């Protein structure tokens, strides 16, 4: 079971064959913790539409980033979300 503090917050897309309109290869996506999705080998990400959806976990590599970079990316994604609203 993942804990909130240890759960990766970001992943990079390495496969989008079934979701080319929703996922961009090599793009960094925000991850939303979802234990039920994990149990099914899925991951919940914010996709190109700005909404969160489930995708196969094998389509992503989870990123273990330094705390400072995680903070900067979190802030950047938050601004992007605010602009889209």
Q: What is the per-residue pLDDT for 12?
A: 96
- What is the pLDDT, as a whole number, of residue 2? 43
Summary mean pLDDT of the chain: 85
| Residue 4 CA: distances (Å) to CA of 12, 13, 15, 19, 82 | 19, 22, 26, 27, 23
pLDDT of res. 8: 59
Tell me, which fold does domain 10-84 have in CATH? SH3 type barrels. (2.30.30)
pTM for the model stands at 0.76
């Amino acid at each position: 079971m993942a804990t909130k503090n240890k759960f990766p917050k970001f992943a990079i897309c390495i496969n989008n064959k079934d979701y080319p309109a929703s996922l961009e290869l090599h793009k960094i996506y925000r991850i939303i913790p979802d234990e039920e999705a994990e149990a099914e080998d899925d991951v919940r990400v914010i996709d190109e539409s700005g909404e969160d959806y489930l995708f196969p976990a094998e389509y992503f590599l989870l990123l273990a980033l330094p705390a400072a970079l995680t903070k900067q990316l979190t802030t950047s994604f938050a601004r992007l979300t605010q602009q889209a609203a």
